[in-house]
Amino acid sequence: MLKRLWLIFAQAVTVTLAIVFVVATLKPQWLQQARWREAPNAVTAQTAHQIALPPSPPASVVRAGFAYAAHIAAPAVVSITANKAPSRVGRAHEQLFGFPFGPRQPRNAPQQGLGSGVIISADGVLLTNNHVVEGASDIEVRLSDGRQVEARLVGTDAETDLAVLKIELSGLPAIPLGDAANLQVGDAVLAIGNPFNVGQTVTSGIVSALGRSQLGINTFENFIQTDAAINPGNSGGALVDADGRLVGINTAIFSRNGGSLGIGFAIPVDVARQVATALLKDGVVARGYIGVQTRELTPELAEMLKLGEAKGVLIGNVVEAAPAANAGIKPGDLLTRIGSHAITTPAELLTSVAALKPRSTVEVGVQRGGKAMAFQLAVAQRPPLRRDQDD
């Protein structure tokens, strides 16, 4: 009996091995599928062990950057094409501080410049640079959504290099306005514009410096300096903070070859807001004027004029029939204050006088020799910009 059972077992094993051999030879994939079904957990664990991938981080970590700021601000930044008469002057002053306003063209040929602008209200008010639209016969605006429209020039202010345009379209995006006074060196910023006419471009950087002045770019200078790339075509575009709020209007770059070297300048939004308000209301920016020209105060001059250690700004010339001349101020006087504000530099004098309202009166303090004096001035309105403009 045992011998018979053993014979049956041996025959069954032989037949089974024969079947496995045939399947392994003709259909090996059947055995692989069977093994996968038999031990899925073991294979999965082995694969995971070999790859050793970490778990996926949350979406907020994956998208660390400025996508939100760009999403908020970019729709309100436009491209501007300005057609101008042939240029009659060179651009020598741009050899170091250049206005990034499209490629250079032959001097005697009609000019078509490319710049950028920013929509600041849903009814179609735009901010851009004066040098983008100055002298233009027609101005065309292209929105980020592809719409194009002709713009009307509301007004310009050459002394801050700002201009206000108006377009008539529905459903316009408007950029939220920030507060440049709260900026700090090191804050992250984005520059948005249309460099080299390649299309809307966003570059990032930080605030490199604040209150940059005496660069010889504009009459009134209080620039935000940034290393965010600003190139030809970016003029009039937006400088925005990490929340997508407008903090400046990109204006000029320091460059030896026309490209970005990481030193760009933007007009603070606080200045732009004041200029835009005045242009929309009156068509001009009314600034105070007293009619004096300053001169460097050297130790030799201070000794000759018997000014001692007094601090102030030396008056080099007084414009005939201007408020200062009418009040009795003379060349050689040391201007020490405007109202209650002490004056120690020509830049302070320029800013303080410009802030005065035309047709108002102000007391001006001067030192003449060793004597302190005060004069009442009837403030006039600052005349249009000239290269030799006085205060």
- CA dist 297 and 367 (Å) reads 13
Say whether 333 is catalytic: no
Runs of H (alpha helix) within the chain: 2-26, 28-38, 40-51, 59-62, 67-73, 130-133, 269-282, 299-304, 323-327, 346-354
Structural tokens at position 330: 């003379």
Which of these is catalytic: 157, 161, 333, 391? 161
Spatial CA neighbour of 383 closest among 323, 300, 335, 329: 323
Instruction: Give Cβ neighbours of residue 53 (< 8 Å, ≥ 6 apart).
Output: none
Catalytic residue among 116, 131, 208, 241: 131
CA dist., res. 347 & res. 352, Å (int):
9
* Cα Rg of the chain, angstroms: 36
235 is a catalytic site residue: yes
Angle at alpha carbon of residue 277, lines to 153 and 280, rounded to 5°? 35
d(CA 95, CA 75) in angstroms, rounded, equals 33
Question: Which of 235, 255, 260, 352 is an active site residue?
Answer: 235
Contacts of 287 (CB under 8 A, 6+ apart): 159, 353, 354, 355, 356, 358, 381, 382
- Rounded-to-integer distance, Cα 73 and Cα 119, Å: 10
Task: Name 216's Cβ contacts closer than 8 Å, sequence gap at least 6.
Answer: 93, 97
Q: What is the distance between the terminal CA atoms of the chain, rounded to a whole angstrom?
A: 129
C-beta of residue 322 within 8 angstroms of C-beta of residue 380: yes
Which single residue is written with the structure tokens 């001035």? 377
Task: Give the Cα separation of 275 and 222 in Å (integer).
Answer: 14
216 neighbors 223 (Cβ within 8 angstroms): no
Question: Any catalytic annotation for residue 121?
Answer: no
Rounded CA-CA distance 189/247 in Å is 9
Which residues are known to be catalytic?
131, 161, 235
